[in-house]
Amino acid sequence: MPIITPVSKLLGIRVPVIQGGMQWVGVPKLAAAVSEAGGLGILTALTQPSPDALRQAIRETKKLTSKPFGVNITLLPSINPPDYQGYARAAVEEGVKIFETAGNNPGPLIKYFKSQGCIVVHKCTTIRHAKSAERLGVDILSIDGFECAGHPGEDDVGGLVLLARAATELKIPYVASGGIGDGRGFAASLALGAGGVNMGTRFMCTVESPIHQKIKDKIVASTERDTVHIFRTLHNTARVFKNKVAMEVVTIEKRPGGAKFEDIKDLVSGARGRKVYENGDPDYGIWSAGVVVGLINDVPTCEELIQRLEREVEETVSGLTKLVPGASCPVSKAKL
């Protein structure tokens, strides 16, 4: 049964589950599988080498699903920034209507997408930034807690508090991101006022995910203690899998006087991280993973995973209603 929220209605999806826009992972096969299963699949624009390559990825995704999917464009600090406007224009011209944005100074991109009648989901790690994005006209906010993979911000605030604050301070719908891998976390997010969830690491560990099977097996074997933060001293904190390379970076950052990016750039290069997913060696480079690895115990198809989430949410909500005499709110019928 569908889980009906403002987010699911706005995005036109059956289950308000968004697949995180992950570098090297958000490709047509995975995005289409998530969308076909009832969630919202996301292509990662910067995984593609050029705007024209993104066009081809969008066309390939459309061949695999007729259901809604989106494109992620993350604005990264860079000496030679990618052609963000070119990626955005290519996606809009190919008929994409849903975009996930993240990073600094998203205003120009958001303005462009809204001028084209698109829906924008913007990722934030603080309520302050969420309110700023709200003023810029985004439609949905993704509230990223300290538990998330990738960049959790510098304030170290967990999702439990961020989501509760969002419920009282935001006027537009929002989804929970970071630390969600099962129906309990999904139901908890709904209870905290979210209209859905964003899951990245959990979708890395699915049949349709393009990463090497050995990396999927590594995730299954890991616990919530198997991630670490790097770039702390550079004020660009990132949560990654705790491997030999990541710990070498941490050691360099702990040196007296800290570290400069030049000291670690070869260790953290994107090319090495991409190779991890291709060759299956978890120690070859830096790769993102959230603490949710501690909740991942199998490698289902996207359809199996989303159906399981639906079932677990309904079971969890039904179980909670039993704690309140006279309460009755089956999630399959509720408009949350």
pLDDT at 176: 98
Output the pLDDT for position 325.
Answer: 78
Other CB atoms within 10 A of residue 285 CB = 23
CA 107 vs. chain centroid, Å, equals 20
Q: What is the pLDDT at residue 77?
A: 76
Q: What CATH number should be reported for the domain whose range is 6-210+297-321?
A: 3.20.20.70
pLDDT tens readout for residues 231-276 = 999 999 999 999 999 999 999 999 998 889 999 999 999 999 999 9
Q: Is the dihedral of CA 86, 34, 125, 222 positive or negative?
A: negative
Name the nearest CA neighbour of 97 among 75, 120, 74. 120
CB 4 within 8 A of CB 14: no
Candidates 214, 290, 283, 278; CA nearest to 247 is 283
CA separation (Å) from 140 to 41, 112, 137, 247? Answer: 16, 16, 9, 36
**pLDDT tens digits for 316-333?**
999 998 888 776 655 544
For the chain, which ranges sit under pLDDT 70? 1, 327-336
Domain ranges of the chain: 6-210+297-321, 227-288
> 196 CB contacts (<8 Å, ≥6 apart)?
3, 5, 7, 8, 15, 16, 17, 18, 173, 175, 176, 189
On whether the pTM is more than 0.75, the answer is: yes
Q: What pLDDT does 104 receive?
A: 87
